Structure 1
Amino acid sequence: MSVREEHELASRRQKLELWRQLGFSLYPANFKRSHSASQVATLAEKSVSVLEGSEIPPGDEVSVAGRIMTVRPHGRLWFATLEDQTGKIQLGAIEETADKKMWQLLQAIDRGDIVGAEGVVVKTKRGEPTVFLTKLVPLAKALQP
């Protein structure tokens, strides 16, 4: 194992420990999902809710689950791509609207982790289907990059 891989593994183990410290079950037995990624994309196409500024507009509330494929933090904004067996959608969070515990958890999410997410379906200005998070539940930590 290279030095870089050892560093990545150590970082992911520290993040797993943070999950534990935040009070999350490390590998919960279940998560109730209401929609698949493709169903969320369909809802977003029909949605008139478009994200503007730091306020999350009203929209359909959903719960989805899948693997995190990319993580893109941008200061007070956090975005990730979630993929399930039906497709990909974007997850989003705004620091001002997220509770402190969830914001800390978001900083400990890596590519490959499996999560359950609850939130409001909106479209971004670019038309991307997005679930803006009200709750995030870690389901499994990917220790190997």
Structure 2
Amino acid sequence: MSDANTAPLESPAPLQDDNQLMQERRDKLKALRQAQAQGKGPAFPNDFKPTDHAAKLFAAHEAQSPEALMEQGTQAKVAGRMMLKRVMGKASFCTLQDSTGRIQVYIKRDDVGEDIYNAFKHWDLGDIVAAEGLVFKTKTGELSIHASAIRLLTKSLR
């Protein structure tokens, strides 16, 4: 029974949004494969071996001061699903989640190179990403990795 004062039900817009999002991600995947065909490196490299996990890094370094961390110069190699991304001009942050937890990665264009940085800006949440670099604490005290290298391992389609 419908009431004269009740608005008619509309078709769900989120389904259209989901389809558009999936199409955009498929287009990005196609571009990756085309770049590989043109000799610009493998679309999905499988030679990255993470040596560290988020929980292990936090257990080992969370209590250390920023100065002590810089003095130590600890390098880390992590991989995980990109859960957050903040692009701010020539530098960005992303949060990677591995099987043990989350860790923030700081990416600076001058450190990873302009081509890699520009590619990173087009990666999506959900993509599997590898990062390696120096363990440090940000000005706000968050344990992070200052990436000297970052790369896309797997593209997320959903």
TM-score (normalizing by structure 2): 0.75
1:47/1:122 contact within 8 Å kept: no
Aligned pairs (5 A) from 1:1-145: 2-20=15-33, 21=35, 23-45=40-62, 46=64, 48-49=66-67, 59-144=73-158
Please state whether the residue corresponding to 1:62 is helix, strand or coil. strand
For the residues of structure 2 that align with 1:100 and 1:4, how far apart are their CA atoms?
A: 31
Gaps of 5+ in 2: 1-13
Residue deviations 1:1-20, cap 9 Å, x none? 73322332232233334444
Normalising to structure 1: TM-score of the pair? 0.81
Q: Distance in 2 between matches of 1:57 and 1:15?
A: 40
In structure 2, distance between residues paired with 1:10 and 1:58: 45
Change (3 A) 1:95 1:30: closer
Q: CA separation of 1:137/1:98 partners in 2, compared to 1, >3 Å: closer, same or farther?
A: closer
- Which protein shows a greater Rg? 2
Which residue is 1:53 aligned to?
Answer: none
- Is the partner of 2:107 in helix, strand or coil? strand
Identical columns (%): 32
Bigger strand share = 1
* Alpha-carbon separation, structure 2, partners of 1:4 and 1:143: 14
Distance 1:32 1:112, change over 3 A: same
- Greater relative contact order, per chain length (Cα 8 Å cut-off, separation 6+): 1
Q: CA RMSD in A?
A: 2.5
Alignment: residue pair count: 139
Listed as ranges, the gaps of 5+ residues in structure 1 are: 51-55
Kindly indicate which of the two structures has a greater share of residues assigned to helix.
2
